[in-house]
Structure 1
Amino acid sequence: MKDERSQAEGVDLDLLVIVIDTKVGFSSRGVEDTFPFYRCLDSIEALANSHLAMSSNNIVCILGCHSTGNRFLYPSEDGIDYAKDIKQTDGRFETFSAINLSLKTEFLKLMNTDKGSSGDDRNVLDFPIAGTLTRALCYINRIAKSKKAVEKLKSRILVITNGGESAAQYMTFMNVFFTCQKNSVLLDACVIGEDSNLLQQGCDITGGIYIKIPQPSGLLEYLLWLFLPSIEERKNLNLPPPSKIDYRAACFCHRQLVEVGYVCSVCLSIFCRTSPVCVTCYSIFKGATMQQPKSKKKRALPPGLIR
Structure 2
Amino acid sequence: EKLKMVIDSRLVTRAENVVPTERKPQGGKGAEDSSLPFVWDALRVLSTAHAALKPDQQVAFFGASVRSTALLLGGVSDGIDWDTTRQAAVDFFLTNHIEGPPLVAAALSRALCYVNRIRKTHPDMPARILVVDASAVEAELSAQSTALVSCAFAAKSCAVPVDCLALGVASSVLLRQVTLLSGGKHQPLPAARRPHRLAEVLVPALLFHFLPGVEVRKDLNIAKDLHNLAAVCSCHGETQEIASVC
TM-score (norm 2): 0.79
Alignment-derived partner of residue 232 in structure 2: 249
- SS state at 1:232 partner: helix
- Structure 2: which amino acid aligns with 1:257? E
Match of 2:152 in 1: 177
Q: Provide, for residues 226-284 of structure 1, a one-character-per-residue CA deviation record: whole Å limited to 9, x for no partner.
A: 11112221112243552352522324xx354341456xxxxxxx443xxxxxxxxxxxx
User: Could you tell me the percent identity over the aligned residues?
Assistant: 24
What is the distance in 2 between the residues matched to 1:133 and 1:61? 12
Which residue of the partner structure matches residue 71 of structure 2? 72
Helix, strand or coil: the match of 1:23?
helix
- Whether the aligned pair in 2 keeps the contact of 1:70 and 1:110 (CA below 8 Å) is no
1:241/1:125 Cα in 2 relative to 1: closer, same or farther (>3 Å)?
same
Give CA deviations for 1:212-238 in whole Å, capped at 9, x if unaligned: 013434111111111111222111224
Aligned partner of 2:22 in structure 1 is none
Deviations 1:109-163 (A, max 9, x none): 3135348xxxxxx8x763311111111111011101132xxx5111100001113
Find the residue that maps to 2:11 and give its secondary structure.
Answer: coil
Whether the 8 Å contact between 1:72 and 1:106 is mirrored in structure 2 is: no
Residues 3-35 of structure 1, C-alpha deviations (whole Å, 9 max, x = no match): xxxxxxxxxxx1110111121252263399997
In structure 2, relative to structure 1, the CA distance for the partners of 1:201 and 1:139 (3 Å cut) is: same
Q: Conserved in 2, the CA contact under 8 Å of 1:185 and 1:206?
A: yes
Q: Residues 47-81 of structure 1, C-alpha deviation per residue, up to 9 Å, x if partnerless?
A: 111111211142111111122212111129xxxxx
Aligned to 1:61: 60
The 1:94–1:211 alpha-carbon spacing in structure 2 relative to 1, beyond 3 Å, is: closer
Q: Between Structure 1 and Structure 2, which shows a larger proportion of helix residues?
A: 2
Aligned to 1:48: 47
Moved over 6 A (4+): 31-35
Across the two proteins, how many residue pairs are aligned to each other?
Answer: 223
Q: Secondary structure at the match of 2:152?
A: helix
Q: Say if 1:206 and 1:111 are closer, same or farther in 2 by CA, change over 3 A.
A: closer
CA distance in 1, matches of 2:223, 2:84: 33
Change (3 A) 1:258 1:234: closer
Secondary structure of the corresponding residue to residue 45 of structure 2: helix
Corresponding residue for residue 117 of structure 2: 142
Q: Which has the higher contact order (CA 8 A, sep 6+)?
A: 2
Aligned partner of 2:207 among 224, 234, 259: 224
Bigger Rg over Cα: 1
| Between 104-113 and 197-206, the greater mean CA deviation after superposition | 104-113
User: Which amino acid in 2 is paired with 1:133?
Assistant: L
1:106 aligns with 2:88: yes
